């Protein structure tokens, strides 16, 4: 379980988030949503122990993240940013294998059978097992995104924090990726994703945290959060909700829905 | 890859042995081998091999190895293939200190030690200027290294202009040209502890340097303490560079080019790249030094100048091919 208590965050001199408190139960998916620049990435980085807190505390399974040394922290939390870092002269397997750093002490230089198994499983789970020996820089942006997600999975941590995991992925792969993340959660991991698409959040998350104006504006099940008029206010546009036959909710900017109906 | 590393080791040993054949007195390979196997002999050949040629070859091999490793470390840390060991400011600081010392009448025999100390002091200054938070800012490190190097180069130029009427100008220029001439076992032995310390500092950082190949942000996310790695690698690279300054003065391009060649042969895995770079550095410097001693015999071409003549075209070739790896 991840517990965020009264956390305030700054980016440089700018206060990004104020007094955020929320918790993510083990075995669930939390979608962090909100307009651009609201602090979703900063929050994820803070939960991963990669961004210092102005105030408050963040704990994973009762252990304060800030108190953990980098390797111990990385054995509990995998964080994947949205940036596509250029990587030269390495195979996809080399890149994914780097995630195993945290499972080795500094004098353990050789790949173990546990490493090989974790890398193979991660590559297979995201469906790029056949690309293992390809040079990373020759992949398409979508394939690279898949490989980075495999990288996060190969870390084999109880918590997965992913910033915009579906960026660059085509419709089918994006759906498959979110289904995989939900399956991982059901298998006992805690998954937190920053998402831009509210419908992805509605379809795959157990809980949604909606941020706006530097604060947590709404937190709860997707149906409750996305039905609230706070969504219209936070995104500064009128939003229409559509209830599908299976009971799930879809959210559209009102103009977009009108266009769809035509 | 291990086979390639073993091949590089064999080539380096062969180059060192071949360099022992080069000198004013013709000595056969058999006689050299015999002298190497019987170090306690007091024959003329044993004295030539053990007191003259072997110290020189070991000195040059040492310089080649430490410069190449220093370059590979800094290029890996900064993920910049255009970085060389002198970015740490070691050579510029050493050159300025030695120029001033020679102008002040300090004996030439003391200059290597002065260069070593001043080089390390400059590296500390560069690191202090590049400091950001608990670690180093790569961009600031490059700017501080380049700026301080330019500043100290100006001091050296001023010293040469001031010393034009005396013998000191030629002494300063000779040091700047880079040459291992006149170094003994004592000089090599003096540097060994520092090289061992540099190696001891960097060995724990090797897995982290591998992780840094995928970028600093990703390396942090898998638990790399980037700040600690930066300090370890910079300290190690500066110590290695200072050792080379102590043993041969200014030798350029080895630290820049050899890691590129190493990456082509064994890839970018730091566990293989560091020993491969060391072995290529040994081979390159030992062969170049043998050429320096023979082409204009009995005069000697400074090693630094010859390596620049080789280094610039090779570097341009690598650069223009555009296939160099990070």
- Set of chain A residues whose Cβ sits within 8 Å of the Cβ of B80: none
Q: Which of A48, A69, A87 sits opposite B221 (nearest CB)?
A: A48
Question: Is residue A51 classed exposed, middle or buried when 0-12, 13-18 and 19+ CB atoms within 10 A define those classes?
Answer: middle
More confident residue, A119 or B306: A119
Q: Which residue of A has its CA nearest to B208?
A: A101
Contact B98, B115 (CB under 8 A): yes
Whether pLDDT at B298 is above 90: no
* Contact at CB, B221 and A74, closer than 8 angstroms: yes
- Set of chain A residues whose Cβ sits within 8 Å of the Cβ of B224: 70, 101
Shortest distance between the Cα of B317 and any Cα of chain A, in A, equals 19
Q: What is the 3-state secondary structure (H, E, C) of chain B?
A: CHHHHHHHHHHHHHHHHHHHCCCCCCCCHHHHHHHHHCCCCCCHHHHHHHHHHHHHHHHHHHHHHHHHHHHHHHHHHHCCCCCCHHHHCHHHHHHHHHHHHHHCCCCHHHHHHHHHHHHHHHHHHHHHHHEECCEECHHHHHHHHHHHHHHHHHHHHHHHHHCCCCCHHHHHHHHHHCCCCCCCHHHHHHHHHHHHHHHHHHHHHHHHHHHHHHCHHHHHHCCCCHHHHHHHHHHHHHHHHHHHHHHHCCCCCHHHHHHHHHHHHHCCCHHHHHHHHHHHHHHHHHHHHHHHHHCCCCCCCCHHHHHHHHHHHHHHHHHHHCCCCC
* Contact at CB, A85 and B268, closer than 8 angstroms: no
Arithmetic mean of pLDDT, A114-141: 95
Q: Which residues of B137-173 are buried (b: 16+ CB within 10 A; e: fewer)?
A: ebeebbebbeebbeebeebbeebbeebeeeebbebbe
* Contact at CB, B217 and A87, closer than 8 angstroms: no
Q: What is the pLDDT of residue B314?
A: 76
Arithmetic mean of pLDDT, B212-228: 93
Contact A22, A209 (CB under 8 A): yes
Whether pLDDT at A1 is above 70: yes
Q: Which residues of A touch B (CB under 8 A)?
A: 48, 50, 69-75, 78-81, 83, 85-90, 94-95, 98-99, 101-102, 104, 106-109, 151, 155
pLDDT single digits (tens) B171-211: 778 777 777 877 788 888 888 998 999 999 999 999 999 99
CA distance A79 to A235: 26
| C-alpha R_g of chain A | 19
CA distance A61 to A53: 19
Quick one: tokens of B298? 């009995």
Q: How confident is the model at residue B23 (pLDDT cuts 50, 70, 90)?
A: confident
* Contact at CB, B223 and A99, closer than 8 angstroms: no
Whether pLDDT at B324 is above 70: no
* Closest CA relative to residue B261, chosen from B299, B311, B295, B202: B311
Arithmetic mean of pLDDT, A236-258: 82
Task: Say which DSSP state A202 is in.
Answer: H
Arithmetic mean of pLDDT, B210-225: 94
Arithmetic mean of pLDDT, A197-202: 93
Number of CB atoms found within 10 A of residue B180's CB: 28
Arithmetic mean of pLDDT, B273-288: 96
**Angle, helices A141-154/A171-186, rounded to nearest 10 degrees:** 10
Shortest distance between the Cα of B320 and any Cα of chain A, in A, equals 17
* Contact at CB, B211 and A107, closer than 8 angstroms: no
pLDDT single digits (tens) A35-52: 999 999 999 999 999 999
Q: Which residue of A has its CA nearest to B216?
A: A85
Q: Which of A72, A79, A109 sits opposite B271 (nearest CB)?
A: A109
Q: What is the pLDDT of residue A260?
A: 56
Omega cis (within 30) before A243: no
* Contact at CB, B211 and A74, closer than 8 angstroms: no
Quick one: tokens of B150? 């330019």
Q: What is the pLDDT of residue B14?
A: 97
* Contact at CB, B210 and A98, closer than 8 angstroms: yes
Q: Which residues of B touch A (CB under 8 A)?
A: 204-208, 210-211, 213-215, 217-225, 263, 267-268, 271, 325-326
Domain boundaries, chain B: 2-202+229-324
First-last CA distance in chain A? 45
Q: Which residue of A has its CA nearest to B217?
A: A81
More confident residue, A182 or A239: A182
Q: Report the mean per-residue pLDDT for chain A.
A: 92
Name beta bridge partners: A253: A239
* Closest CA relative to residue A9, chosen from A25, A21, A23: A21
Shortest distance between the Cα of B264 and any Cα of chain A, in A, equals 10
- ipTM computed for the complex: 0.89
Arithmetic mean of pLDDT, A188-211: 95
Task: Say which DSSP state A49 is in.
Answer: T
* Closest CA relative to residue B242, chosen from B135, B95, B81, B103: B95
Shortest distance between the Cα of B190 and any Cα of chain A, in A, equals 28
Whether pLDDT at A257 is above 60: no
pLDDT single digits (tens) A137-149: 999 999 999 999 9
How far are the Cα atoms of A75, A89, A97, A207, B32 from residue A92, in angstroms, in the given order? 21, 10, 8, 33, 50
CA distance B135 to A55: 23
Q: Which of B204, B208, B217 sits opposite A81 (nearest CB)?
A: B217
- Set of chain A residues whose Cβ sits within 8 Å of the Cβ of B223: 70-75, 101-102
**Minimum mean pLDDT among B74-78, B149-153, B166-170: which range?**
B166-170
Q: Report the mean per-residue pLDDT for chain B.
A: 87
- Set of chain A residues whose Cβ sits within 8 Å of the Cβ of B76: none
DSSP string, A91-159: BHHHHHHGGGGGGS-TT--SPPHHHHHHHHHHHHHTT-GGGTTSBGGGS-HHHHHHHHHHHHHHT--SE
How far are the Cα atoms of B29, B36, B37 from residue B25, in angstroms, in the given order? 12, 17, 20
Contact A49, A73 (CB under 8 A): yes
Q: How confident is the model at residue B326 (pLDDT cuts 50, 70, 90)?
A: very low
3-state secondary structure of A41: helix
* Contact at CB, B225 and A70, closer than 8 angstroms: yes
For chain A, percent of residues with pLDDT exceeding 90: 78
* Contact at CB, B224 and A70, closer than 8 angstroms: yes
**Minimum mean pLDDT among A105-119, A189-203, A244-258, B32-46: which range?**
A244-258
Sheet holding A14-24, edge to edge: A14-24, A2-11, A55-60, A63-64
* Contact at CB, B268 and A90, closer than 8 angstroms: yes
Quick one: tokens of B109? 């025999």
Q: What is the pLDDT of residue B322?
A: 59
Q: Which of B206, B207, B214 sits opposite A87 (nearest CB)?
A: B214
Q: Which residue of A has its CA nearest to B218?
A: A80
Shortest distance between the Cα of A199 and any Cα of chain B, in A, equals 28
More confident residue, B199 or B319: B199
The CATH number of the structural domain formed by B2-202+229-324 is 1.10.3470.10
* Contact at CB, A74 and B326, closer than 8 angstroms: no
């Amino acid at each position: 379980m991840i517990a965020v208590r009264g956390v305030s965050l700054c980016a440089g001199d700018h206060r990004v988030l104020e007094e955020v408190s929320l918790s993510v139960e083990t075995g669930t998916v939390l979608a962090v949503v909100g307009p651009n620049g609201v602090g979703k990435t900063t929050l994820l980085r803070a939960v991963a122990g990669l961004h210092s807190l102005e105030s408050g505390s963040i704990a994973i399974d009762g252990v304060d993240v800030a108190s953990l040394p980098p390797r111990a922290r990385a054995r509990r939390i995998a964080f994947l940013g949205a940036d596509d870092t250029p990587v030269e002269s390495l195979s996809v397997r080399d890149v994914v294998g780097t995630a195993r750093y945290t499972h080795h002490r500094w004098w353990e230089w050789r790949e173990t059978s546990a490493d090989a198994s974790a890398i193979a499983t991660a590559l297979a789970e995201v469906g790029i097992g056949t690309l293992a020996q390809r040079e990373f820089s020759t992949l398409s942006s979508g394939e690279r995104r898949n490989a980075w997600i495999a990288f996060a999975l190969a870390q084999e941590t109880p918590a997965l924090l992913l910033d915009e995991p579906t960026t660059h992925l085509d419709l089918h792969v994006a759906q498959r990726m979110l289904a995989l993340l939900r399956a991982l959660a059901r298998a006992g991991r805690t998954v937190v994703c920053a998402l831009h698409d509210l419908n992805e959040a509605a379809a795959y998350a157990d809980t949604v945290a909606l941020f706006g104006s530097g604060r947590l504006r709404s937190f709860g099940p997707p149906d409750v959060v996305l039905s609230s008029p706070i969504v219209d206010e936070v995104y500064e546009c009128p939003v229409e909700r559509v209830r599908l036959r299976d009971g799930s909710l879809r959210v559209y900017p009102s103009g977009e829905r009108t266009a769809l109906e035509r | 890859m291990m086979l390639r590393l073993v091949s590089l080791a064999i080539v380096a040993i062969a180059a060192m042995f071949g360099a022992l054949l080069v000198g004013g007195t013709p000595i056969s390979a058999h006689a050299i081998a015999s002298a190497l196997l019987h170090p306690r002999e007091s024959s003329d050949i044993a004295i030539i091999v053990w007191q003259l040629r072997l110290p020189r070859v070991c000195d040059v091999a040492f310089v080649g190895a430490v410069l190449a490793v220093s370059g590979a470390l800094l290029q890996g840390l900064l993920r910049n293939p255009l970085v060389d060991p002198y970015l740490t400011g070691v050579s510029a600081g050493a050159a300025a200190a030695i120029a001033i010392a020679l102008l002040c009448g300090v004996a030439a025999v003391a200059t290597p030690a002065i260069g070593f100390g001043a080089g390390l002091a400059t590296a500390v200054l560069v690191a202090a200027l590049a400091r950001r938070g608990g670690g180093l800012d790569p961009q600031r490190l490059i700017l501080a290294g380049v700026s301080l190097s330019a500043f100290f180069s100006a001091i050296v130029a001023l010293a040469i202009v001031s010393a034009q009427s005396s013998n000191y100008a030629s002494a300063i220029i000779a040091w700047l040209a880079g040459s291992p001439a006149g170094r003994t076992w004592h000089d090599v032995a003096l540097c060994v502890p520092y090289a061992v310390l540099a190696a001891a500092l960097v060995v724990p950082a090797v897995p982290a340097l591998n992780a840094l190949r995928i970028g600093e942000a990703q390396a942090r996310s898998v638990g790399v303490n980037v700040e600690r790695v930066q300090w370890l690698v910079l300290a190690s690279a500066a110590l290695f560079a200072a050792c080379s300054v102590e043993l041969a003065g200014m030798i350029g391009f080895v630290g820049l080019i050899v890691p590129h060649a190493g990456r082509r042969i064994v890839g970018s895995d730091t566990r293989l790249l560091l020993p491969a770079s060391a072995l290529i550095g040994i081979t390159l410097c030992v062969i170049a030094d043998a050429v320096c001693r023979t082409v204009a015999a009995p005069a000697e071409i400074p090693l630094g100048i010859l390596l620049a003549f080789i280094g610039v075209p090779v570097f341009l070739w690598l650069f223009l091919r555009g296939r160099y790896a990070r």
